[in-house]
């Protein structure tokens, strides 16, 4: 196949997927391909998929249709977690030309050159996940002001509801030395904030120089804090049982690592946590929150929660809701449980009706909105350092404070994208975004 003129990308799912898509995009650019926005269509369209919910198939089909609507001759390539889990199912989708598994996706260019546009089932290259034992570095660049830096991949936890070990393999990570080099490369590109991402970054392990003791996430954070050139570092998500006192206390002392923690809870009910095969109970989670809050009263803390897990009664749900109501967390990512093939949870009895799951989801989303508004209101009238980003609204900027308050501000002299500015958090909008203003006295003294 002759080298096509253009390629476009579409990413579904998490920050880790965005980092990997960006790295694949950089491979295409280095090979001379022209990158088009997805909305414009291209000769090749690469779709990076997610498998967190049972909507993966529906979302993938929708994006394939959208890509072909932009260019009916486009070569459609599907990668990502869903591609590893159900490659043949994806290959049967009309219009899909190539499906690459976890071990193959970073070698995408070698497969692209052998593609032919022929009718029928797409070409599948997906090795068994047990064979995947190498780590592929990735980071995002060009899409946002912040860069998502992949430091870890895979997971050894085998929670009863999760397919990530099947999709991404065993836990493995980069070395501290290589993370530092990549962070410096990102800094040289003018990026002001790096978000450390992975599947289970708290499981990060490297070897010391003498090989005698393992180096953990806390050691990586200390090295980055000491040596990285970017002014901001942020932890994307960390398991509560791996969020140690030492990590919390170090973040509290650091001026580089932002006071923002996202810790998956999944349930505030110990019965559900045991069935989910989580490696902690609610008392440990509450202890972690209290430790963070005692060290950093201004920190933003988020949690993941699953509603409608098999066997979750109304009383069980209310225990979780009450626990979250009393817990000093500031926002929730609420997921409606969905059965995933080849997981223990999918075989469990007492499935919760779908309409009940959705109702519980709405209840916790309402609680999340109230908690977030309370957190934002508490900071109204204060001055915060905001990293400014492009907004979809003309003559406006978006951005985040150190403690992850989302801000918008109208354009004014002295403000520019990818700059960190002291802004006055002025008022809370109905959209849940904090409107800020650039106080002239602040900037006169800065």
**pLDDT tens for each residue of 178-227:** 999 999 999 999 999 999 999 999 999 998 777 778 999 999 999 999 99
**285 domain residue, yes or no:** no
Same domain, 214 and 118: no
Supply the pLDDT for residue 373.
96
State the average pLDDT over residues 5-11.
93
Residue 317 confidence class, pLDDT cut points 50, 70, 90: very high
Compute the distance between CA of residue 177 and CA of residue 181 in angstroms, rounded to an integer.
Answer: 6
Residue 1 lies in a domain: no
Residues 6+ apart with CB under 8 A from 165: 129, 154, 155, 156, 157, 158
166 and 208 in a common domain: yes
Mean predicted confidence (pLDDT) in 267-288: 98
| Residues 254 and 266 both lie in one domain | no
Task: Specify the CATH number for the domain of residue 48.
Answer: 3.40.50.12160
Percent of the chain clearing pLDDT 90 (strictly above): 80
- Please provide residue 357's backbone torsions phi and psi, each rounded to the nearest 5 degrees: -60, -45
Whether 44 and 107 map to the same domain: the answer is: yes
211: left (phi over 0), alpha (psi -120 to 50) or beta: left
Q: Which residue, 100, 183, 193, is CA-closest to 137? A: 183
Q: How many domains does the chain have?
A: 4
User: What average pLDDT score do residues 144-158 get?
Assistant: 93
CA–CA separation, 14 and 18 (whole Å): 7
Let me know if residue 39 belongs to a domain.
Answer: yes
How confident is residue 4, by pLDDT bands cut at 50, 70 and 90? low
| Residue 35 sits in the same domain as residue 117 | yes
pLDDT for residue 249 is more than 60: yes
More confident residue, 143 or 353: 353
Q: Are residues 144 and 63 in the same domain?
A: no
Write down the mean pLDDT value for the chain.
92
Looking at the fold, whether 272 and 246 belong to one and the same domain comes out as no
Q: How far apart are CA 194 and CA 364, in angstroms?
A: 30
3-state secondary structure of 125: strand
Name the helix (H) or strand (E) containing 149: strand 146-150
181 and 235 share a domain?
A: yes
In a domain, 138, yes or no: yes
- Do 331 and 249 lie in one domain? The reply is no
Neighbour-count burial of 132, counting CB atoms closer than 10 A to its CB (0-12 exposed, 13-18 middle, 19+ buried)? buried
Same domain? 254 vs 268: no
Q: State pLDDT tens for residues 228-245.
A: 999 999 999 999 999 999
Instruction: Answer yes or no: are the C-beta atoms of 375 and 300 closer than 8 Å.
Output: yes
Looking at 322, 350, 377, the residue that finishes a domain is 377
Question: Do 168 and 222 sit in the same domain of this protein?
Answer: yes
> Does residue 322 belong to any structural domain of this protein?
yes
Which of 103, 128, 153 represents a domain boundary (last residue)? 128
Domain end call among 359, 377, 395: 377
Selection from 131, 11, 177 nearest residue 79 by Cα: 11
H or E, element range at 7 = strand 6-11
Is the pLDDT assigned to residue 53 strictly greater than 90? no
d(CA 415, CA 413): 6
SS3 of residue 333 by DSSP? strand
Q: Which domain holds residue 177?
A: 133-258
Residue 118's pLDDT is 54
Residue 159 lies in a domain: yes
Q: Does 247 lie in the same domain as 176?
A: yes
CATH code for position 338: 3.30.750.200
Mean pLDDT of 299-307: 98
Least confident of 123-137, 224-238, 354-368: 123-137
| CATH code at position 412 | 2.40.50
Of the candidates 203, 194, 433, 193, the residue with the CA atom closest to the CA atom of residue 331:
433
Q: Residue 172: which CATH number?
A: 3.30.750.210
């Amino acid at each position: 196949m002759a080298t096509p003129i253009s390629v476009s990308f579409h990413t579904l799912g998490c920050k880790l997927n965005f980092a990997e898509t960006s790295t694949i995009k950089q491979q295409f650019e280095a090979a001379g391909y022209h990158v088009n926005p997805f909305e414009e269509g291209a000769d090749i369209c690469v779709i990076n998929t997610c498998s967190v919910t049972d909507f993966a198939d529906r979302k993938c089909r929708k994006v394939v249709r959208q890509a072909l609507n932009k260019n009916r001759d486009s070569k459609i390539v599907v990668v990502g977690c869903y591609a590893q889990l159900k490659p043949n199912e994806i290959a049967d989708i009309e219009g899909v030309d190539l499906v690459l598994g976890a071990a193959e996706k970073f070698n995408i260019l070698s497969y692209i050159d052998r593609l032919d546009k022929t009718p029928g089932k797409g070409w599948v290259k997906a090795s068994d996940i047990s064979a995947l034992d190498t780590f592929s570095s990735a980071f995002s660049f060009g899409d946002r002001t912040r860069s998502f830096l992949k430091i870890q991949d895979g997971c050894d936890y085998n929670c009863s509801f999760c397919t990530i070990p099947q999709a991404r393999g065993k836990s493995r990570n980069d070395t501290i030395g290589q993370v530092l080099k990549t962070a410096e490369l990102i800094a040289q590109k003018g990026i002001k904030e790096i978000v450390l991402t992975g599947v289970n970054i708290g499981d990060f392990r490297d070897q010391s120089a003498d090989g005698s003791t393992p180096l953990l996430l806390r050691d990586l954070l200390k090295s980055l804090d000491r040596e990285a050139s970017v002014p901001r570092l942020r932890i994307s998500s960390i398991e509560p049982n791996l969020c140690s006192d030492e990590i919390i206390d170090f973040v509290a002392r650091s001026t580089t690592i932002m006071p923002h923690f996202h810790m998956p809870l999944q349930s505030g009910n110990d019965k559900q946590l045991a069935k989910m095969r989580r490696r902690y109970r609610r008392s440990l989670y509450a202890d972690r929150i209290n430790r963070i809050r005692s060290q950093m009263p201004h920190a933003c803390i988020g949690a993941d929660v699953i509603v409608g897990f098999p066997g979750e009664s109304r009383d069980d749900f209310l225990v979780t809701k009450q626990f979250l109501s009393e817990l000093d967390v500031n926002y929730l990512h609420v997921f409606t449980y969905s059965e995933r093939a080849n997981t223990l949870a999918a075989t469990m009895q007492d499935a919760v009706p779908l309409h009940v799951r959705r109702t519980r989801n709405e209840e916790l989303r309402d609680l999340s909105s109230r908690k977030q508004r309370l957190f934002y209101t508490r900071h109204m009238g204060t001055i915060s350092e905001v990293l400014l980003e492009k907004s979809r609204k003309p003559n406006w900027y978006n951005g985040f404070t150190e403690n992850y308050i989302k801000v918008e501000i109208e354009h004014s002299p002295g403000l520019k994208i990818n700059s960190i500015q002291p802004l006055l958090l002025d008022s809370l909008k109905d959209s849940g975004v904090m409107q800020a203003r650039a106080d002239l006295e602040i900037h006169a003294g800065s």
